[in-house]
Structure 1
């Protein structure tokens, strides 16, 4: 799709080459009815109101009925790109090889180009949203889960604009405030509202950067203030019981022990663990290579217990799950396929149920626990940032809350009068 300015789904406000606006059928009939009346009319205030005939430029004599109803140019100096785009928007989408000029006589009863009468008009907002999602996945390097979340937010936004009667591309900030108000009245959480507004900001920033819209209506809106909350950390007793819960006598149990140990040993995301291939594991040097957000790779060290459990799984246990499929994935399901992130979450909840732990804990809680335990043991913030794969140090600080006992110890050791 070209990057010419988007002018909405109707032709009421579209400009044509050579000046003037393209009028609708209703305004055309109105102009014809009053153009025949040449007698001035007195208004209530005594002034004179005249109805002028529309002047035709020589270059538009053969235009269709819509195009011939040209009003005077309201502003001077429209760009050449916008004028050329107006011709293409007048004729709409055509099949390959169709050569239609706006100066051809139209046989359509409503004065449109014949190709427009028979072919459907493309859904421009939906096309722009698809291009935006493709931009996030290819240019920005967002993960499939992130792009899927953006797609969900944009689908909900398009549904709202259709229900509320707004143009999804040309609406103003007041309409977006109405969108915020509707979500608040529906009792959506502040985090959900903030995430959807972040998706809209990225979308309109993308449209503005490409020159499709002249201004960004989402730039002036403020997201709701989110309450600060500490990440969930697995208690030490529960953590020890959880890591030893899977049975070491079955192939699935050996696999689960290796997965849980790697999650706590490396602080990796669950998607990074499930994406591991055999080539990413280096048992001899006690390390693994993971690919994080933005396709950024990092090397994570393993302690001896994690190495032993991973080596035990990569032996007969993995061969028993492979089912002769020849998969290169490290962690396989019972059918021999690569395990998904959802499968790991279900596995964790099953083991939490066995040990009587809180079912609200997720694999990400092991990542929080990893960062917290490192900092409690004296690791510096930069090291934890590199291990977690964060670009900004401020992101790492979310994970680096410390317990009250650690605060008391630092205060006792550092304060002169403690």
Structure 2
């Protein structure tokens, strides 16, 4: 171990050292929190056996992974193992640790991360009932926005009022020029990125789509957004964010962590979320993107329209649907979007 690394790690615990580094690398707060949760749990496990992160060997790591089996989903076991492997691999490469005891564990692991899990099969009727359980204007607006548009949590958080053009709005706002002639529409830009300044405000989330997308706003989403805007606290930011906190961070832009907490709370109360459950079981913001894709695709029979709305990159999709937005995308969406109210 180098002297510099020894000095750094002696004044800061290993987990904090690693978390600081991945924060500087631009990892999202949600990713940082996920790593911290797993690493602290592993650290607690080792501590109960009078061991430390720097002193653990491959058998200690194997024992930890083994005790997870039966408590969490198979894919979650693999995820925990991958987080520990990345932690040890990085700490070894920067000379804080001498070796990576997780390397052999990962090589021999039976479980694997399921990148395309079979998710809950939730009907429109069941989702409608779930939405009825959310009575707060902010909660209803967030849930409806995700369900009706298929956008990501980070994309929702980055929305400013200029990105929404409602023919009838309870607030005075100026929509962006790209929405001219497209009333009752939503614009998702591709530019916002975590840590960069966009529309005068430093963002904490990234819009992951490669191309900007215009999405129709149907009557139900318009009604819920109108209700929210009438009750929305004055935003703290001059960027005029569409969704802001109504709790401790009053008036501040929602963060992905807030959106995840909001949805997890409702899903847990409804029996759609279990601690330790994997994506096959738990309803999260990303599940709503899956719900949107599945149900709208089944109704339209047109994968191209759904790909365009999701922001999936394909030259034929972009060329076809961007230039025929008014006639094809809007009509297909309006004719087929499911009713949730």
Q: Same fold (TM over 0.5)?
A: yes
CA distance in 1, matches of 2:104, 2:305: 34
Aligned twin of 2:40 = 155
**C-alpha RMSD over aligned residues:** 4.3
The Cα shift of 1:201 comes to 0.7
From 301, 313, 320, the counterpart of 2:214: 301
Aligned twin of 1:201 = 85
- Structure 2 unaligned blocks of 5 or more: 167-178, 195-204, 274-282, 314-341
1:345 aligns with 2:263: yes
The Cα shift of 1:329 comes to 2.6
Distance 1:127 1:257, change over 3 A: closer
Alignment of 1:116-127 (within 5 A): 124=10, 127=13
Distance 1:297 1:359, change over 3 A: closer
The Cα shift of 1:305 comes to 0.4
> Are the equivalent residues in 1 in contact too, given 2:149–2:215 (CA < 8 A)?
yes
Deviations 1:206-261 (A, max 9, x none): 123224445422122133425975112431333456668878xxxx54x5554333
Distance 1:379 1:337, change over 3 A: same
The Cα shift of 1:176 comes to 1.8
Say which one has the larger Rg.
1
1:321 aligns with 2:232: yes
From 108, 113, 120, the counterpart of 1:232: 120
Alignment of 1:162-311 (within 5 A): 162-184=47-69, 187-221=71-105, 222-225=108-111, 230-239=118-127, 252-253=136-137, 258-281=141-164, 284=179, 285=182, 286-289=185-188, 295-298=206-209, 299-305=212-218, 309-310=221-222
CA distance in 2, matches of 1:344, 1:262: 13
Deviations 1:273-297 (A, max 9, x none): 2443334445534233265887344
CA distance in 2, matches of 1:346, 1:162: 30
> Are the equivalent residues in 2 in contact too, given 1:208–1:215 (CA < 8 A)?
yes
Aligned twin of 1:414 = none
Higher RCO (C-alpha under 8 Å, 6+ residues apart): 2
> Are the equivalent residues in 1 in contact too, given 2:148–2:292 (CA < 8 A)?
yes
Aligned twin of 2:243 = 331
CA distance in 1, matches of 2:261, 2:119: 22
Number of aligned residues: 262
Deviations 1:120-174 (A, max 9, x none): xx864953322211222231x3221221121121112223333334442254323
Alignment of 1:357-396 (within 5 A): 359-360=272-273, 361-376=283-298, 377-380=300-303, 384=307, 387=310
CA distance in 2, matches of 1:337, 1:263: 21
- SS state of the match for residue 104, structure 2? coil
Aligned twin of 1:56 = none
Distance 1:363 1:182, change over 3 A: closer
Distance 1:134 1:231, change over 3 A: same
- Structure 1 unaligned blocks of 5 or more: 6-81, 94-121, 391-418
The Cα shift of 1:372 comes to 1.2
